[in-house]
Amino acid sequence: MSLTEEELRYLNDALAREPTSLELSMVSAEWSEHCSYKSSRPYLKMFSTEGKHVLIGPGYDAGVLDIGDGMLLTVHIESHNHPSAVEPYGGAATGIGGVIRDILSMGSRPIALLDALRFGDIRNDNHARWLFRNVVRGIADYGNCIGVPTIAGEVEFDDSFTNYCLVDVACIGIARKDRLVMLKGDVDDLVIIAGNRTGRDGIHGASFASRTFEGEEEDRSAVQIPDPFMGKLLIDATMECVEKGCVKAIKDLGGGGLACCLSETADRLGKGMFINLDALHLREEMSVEEMMISESQERMLYIVEPSRFEEFKVIMDKYEIPFSVLGRLTDDAHLHIYYGGNEIARIKASIVANAPVIKRKAVKPPYIEYIASNSRKPEMPEYDDIADILLRLLSNPSIASKEWVYRQYDHEVGLRTVVKPGYADAAVLRLNLDYAGGEGSSYRYIAVKVDGNSKHCYIDPYNGSMGCFSEACRNVACVGAEPIAMVDHLQFGSPEDEHVFWTFVESVRGLADYGRYMKIPCVGGKVSFYNETKNGAIKPSPLVCVVGLVNDGDDGKVMKGHASRDGDILMVIGLTKDEMGGSEYYEYIHSILNADVPKVDLAYDKSTRDAVLALIRAGLVTSVHDCSKGGLAVAIAEMCIASGRGARVELSNVPHTCTRLDDLLFSESHSRFLLSISRDDLDAVNRLLSDHPVDRAVIGEFNGNSLSLEYKGSGINISMDSMLDSYSSIARLMGHGG
Amino acid sequence: MDGMPVYRINVLIENKPYISDPEGDTIRKDLVVKGGYHNVKSIRVAKMLKVEVEANSAEDAKDTVRRMCEDLRLYNPVLSVCKIVESGL
């Protein structure tokens, strides 16, 4: 059992007796870090969670946003790191299944997925390639099978993920405001489990995810098997139940299985439950402990009023979904678990559902000081070498085209995706209530993007995390959307390590400060600790998924892609600074760690984003791209690749405070955008920008079929073909197809 | 290395017995039982690779194939069992 001595004492005190063995199993599952947030909970209060679009914030299965006209968006993010490291195909696929059921739990229809993935070095590591290949295939197979498009994401490669991987999936749902399912329930309502039969798979999954990853052989019990067909049936059946209004509460069975699902639901409802485990539909014979903590996939809990049971049954039978009426709600706030006629557990739901908080020590890790006192700069390259460096950066898998990944995903099913992967910096969905079973007529355009940067967050978790948030906001702004909410996923090593825990606290602080300043509320998220292998903790890897709304009012305009035309002017907004710490240029090209990670100037960040959104709304730009990994030079090259035409750039015009040309080219300073503008609109652009306190400059023009970077008389010229060739490195490494 | 005999080796990859097999279950439930074969109690899906390999002996051929399956991760030992047998023809 995984309870500490203190926790055991706390439990004994709360019960005023020794727990039964089943009670102990249930509590152990629910009090795992994975389910209980016992280390992180006090810190998550730092997030600002309220905003004009927020209907439901953190603490539910998904955050709920009101986007007007009776339309609601739901959003949630989950990871499936340990299971994917053991069985990448099934782990990633069941990760998708899990996040989709969270969206279903609010009575909303899942309509889009995003994935953020992290692996070791796929250039030299067979195992990393095997993980990468199968994780992507697992996401594709599950998402494609159930008809939910995967519309955006990001991938990063770093040695700290060797023999491991981070697999994060976010899901967006849509609901009618008059059909949202909140947890409700009255005494004698039925407690029903529907979906797959319960088997021995995924036993101890939650506690597996709450300790250090030991390698695959010992952890075979935590293999989880996806069943996308059942996943799809559950979506359709649940939506029909919601439409009929015959369910009062819906809850996903995820980590910790029945133990967590029943105790959390009962606790939330303020009710008790009478549960008869003899009724549970099983795949194989198993012990009561195993029944309570099995994490068999594709199962849902429904609370149904007895008078509506026939309607519920007709729907489940129609979809041929097996279900068991496991029990009913009581008014005594206790879980009564019966098996073979005997009461084998009787425990207050609130005790199981609320683990005692553990106060963790947070101490600044020595490596941060070490990097600070050993920071250096590389030797300045010859001007002629810049071309080669840029091509190598473009072929760096963390920067290179992710087409090999998203080509495996169906990103169009459902017909809502107006901006698809590879076309712009964020995906855009067109929403209408018709799709959610209503009769709305007006459209809402929303943009979504997920971002992370483990290299920045390792060196400076506060500024690095804030930077991830800023980047995700920039990306949704690039398609014309105003950020309205975020969900985050905080992934770290063991919270028992005071140094790791410090990076967690700093990271939360960075995200919370940004959110509060920008008035972008956090509406949900997840914390995943114990992401460690035999080689130690992963780099701190918080991820931020930002949802933006294009037309909050009627003045929106969607930027559909990189549509620069010959003769368009290239303008930069923002200031390039000497902030080279964690840059791909320093780490990938020179293997140099430098402490000076890019910092977000909050007021300036907001000004640049506002300026860009104003230009987009005025219809004055043909294309917008943000500067991030690889800096200005990479961003310019990406615009050339995306629009299929070259550019001629005069670097001395770029607003900057750098002392070196390589810093100017490759610094990853935040709050910078590249825009292409029709020559005829330049005056109007300048007029509009005169109201915005931002640095800006015309730095070149799109034309021809090569990129020419000039600096005070010297110049380099790189052909489109060689850029495209470098940028396609992932497809080459992975082979074509899946 | 001319003249070595060619052996035909079959590789059978299937989920371990205690791991569920939704694909097999779906085939049984939705195709077989609905098709009237009520006495079919279980179906498990497996993948078979038919490999031809040059080797000195059948044992060497099986060794090569086993190494190939493990090195190249043609199956995941956590999830699946991999049976390697010589096929007659």
The model's pLDDT over B10-50, given as tens digits with 9 standing for 90+, comes to 999 999 888 889 999 999 999 999 999 999 999 999 999 99
* Whether the predicted pLDDT of A677 surpasses 90: yes
Instruction: Please give the positions of A annotated as active site.
Output: 34, 80
Q: pLDDT-derived band of residue A215, with 50, 70 and 90 as boundaries?
A: low
Query: pLDDT digits over A58-70, tens only?
Result: 888 899 999 988 8
* Whether the predicted pLDDT of A620 surpasses 80: yes
% residues pLDDT > 70 (chain A): 95
**Cα dihedral across residues A9, A10, A15, A20: positive or negative:** negative
Q: pLDDT-derived band of residue A714, with 50, 70 and 90 as boundaries?
A: confident
Query: pLDDT digits over A219-278, tens only?
Result: 445 688 899 999 999 999 999 999 999 999 999 998 889 999 999 999 999 999 999 999
How far is residue B6's CA from residue B10's CA, in Å, rounded to a whole number?
13
pLDDT of residue A34: 84
Sheet holding A150-157, edge to edge: A54-56, A63-68, A71-79, A166-176, A109-119, A150-157
Taking residue A217's Cβ as centre, other Cβ atoms within 10 Å add up to: 9
Residue ranges in A644-681 assigned as alpha helix (H): 661-666
% residues pLDDT > 90 (chain A): 82
A730: exposed, middle or buried (Cβ count in 10 Å: 0-12, 13-18, 19+): buried
* Whether the predicted pLDDT of A121 surpasses 70: yes
What residues contact residue A509 under an 8 Å CB cut-off, 6+ apart?
Answer: A46, A462
Q: What are phi and psi of A120, to 5 degrees?
A: -70, -160
Query: Across residues A276-296, what is the average pLDDT?
Result: 92
Position A136, amino acid: V
**Nearest-CB residue to A201 (from B19, B26, B76):** B19
Query: Could you tell me which of A176, A194, A180, A175 has the C-alpha nearest to residue A303?
Result: A194
How far is residue A456's CA from residue A449's CA, in Å, rounded to a whole number?
19
Q: pLDDT-derived band of residue A441, with 50, 70 and 90 as boundaries?
A: low
Instruction: Break chain A into its structural domains and give their ranges.
Output: 1-31+181-355, 381-400+562-738
Query: Across residues A545-569, what is the average pLDDT?
Result: 82
Å between A406 CA and nearest CA of chain B: 23
Angle at Cα A138 formed by Cα A542 and Cα A543, nearest 5°?
Answer: 10
How far is residue A379's CA from residue A391's CA, in Å, rounded to a whole number?
19
Contact A192, A324 (CB under 8 A): yes
Query: pLDDT digits over A122-150, tens only?
Result: 999 999 999 999 999 999 999 999 999 99
Query: pLDDT digits over A688-706, tens only?
Result: 999 999 999 999 999 999 9
Query: Could you tell me which of A328, A301, A148, A149 has the C-alpha nearest to residue A238?
Result: A301
Inspect the interface and report whether the beta carbons of A225 and B19 lie closer than 8 Å.
yes
Selected for mutation to probe chain B from A82, A141, A229, A296 (highest B CB count within 10 Å) is: A229
B57 touches chain A (CB under 8 A): no
pLDDT of residue A69: 83
Find the helix or strand (DSSP H, E) in which A93 lies: helix A88-104
Report yes or no for ipTM above 0.85: yes
Q: What are phi and psi of A471, to 5 degrees?
A: -65, -45
Query: Could you tell me which of A57, A159, A130 has the C-alpha nearest to residue A734?
Result: A130
Å between B19 CA and nearest CA of chain A: 7
Query: pLDDT digits over A334-374, tens only?
Result: 999 999 999 999 999 999 999 999 999 999 999 999 999 99
Q: pLDDT-derived band of residue A75, with 50, 70 and 90 as boundaries?
A: very high
| CA-based nearest residue in chain A for residue B27 | A229
* Whether the predicted pLDDT of A211 surpasses 70: no
A199 touches chain B (CB under 8 A): yes
Q: What is the DSSP letter of A105?
A: T
Query: Across residues A292-309, what is the average pLDDT?
Result: 95
Query: Across residues B74-80, what is the average pLDDT?
Result: 90
Distances (CA, A) of A160 to A187, A240, A372, A449: 51, 45, 20, 24
* Whether the predicted pLDDT of A436 surpasses 90: no
**Nearest-CB residue to A227 (from B19, B22, B78):** B22
Query: pLDDT digits over A147-185, tens only?
Result: 999 999 999 999 999 999 999 999 999 998 888 888 899
Inspect the interface and report whether the beta carbons of A87 and B22 lie closer than 8 Å.
no
**Nearest-CB residue to A229 (from B18, B22, B73):** B22
Among A342-346, A421-425, A720-724, name the one with the lowest average pLDDT: A421-425
Q: pLDDT-derived band of residue A207, with 50, 70 and 90 as boundaries?
A: low
| CA-based nearest residue in chain B for residue A89 | B76
Total residues belonging to chain B: 89
Contact A5, A353 (CB under 8 A): no
A662 touches chain B (CB under 8 A): no
How far is residue A277's CA from residue A259's CA, in Å, rounded to a whole number?
12
pLDDT of residue A218: 44
| CA-based nearest residue in chain B for residue A86 | B78
Q: pLDDT-derived band of residue A737, with 50, 70 and 90 as boundaries?
A: very low
A311, two tokens: 């309607």
Assign domain A1-31+181-355 to a CATH class. alpha beta
The answer to whether A1-31+181-355 and A381-400+562-738 have equal CATH topology is yes
pTM: 0.94
Residue ranges in A479-530 assigned as alpha helix (H): 498-518
How far is residue A309's CA from residue A294's CA, in Å, rounded to a whole number?
26
Domain A381-400+562-738 classified CATH 3.20.20.70?
no
Find the helix or strand (DSSP H, E) in which A132 lies: helix A126-146
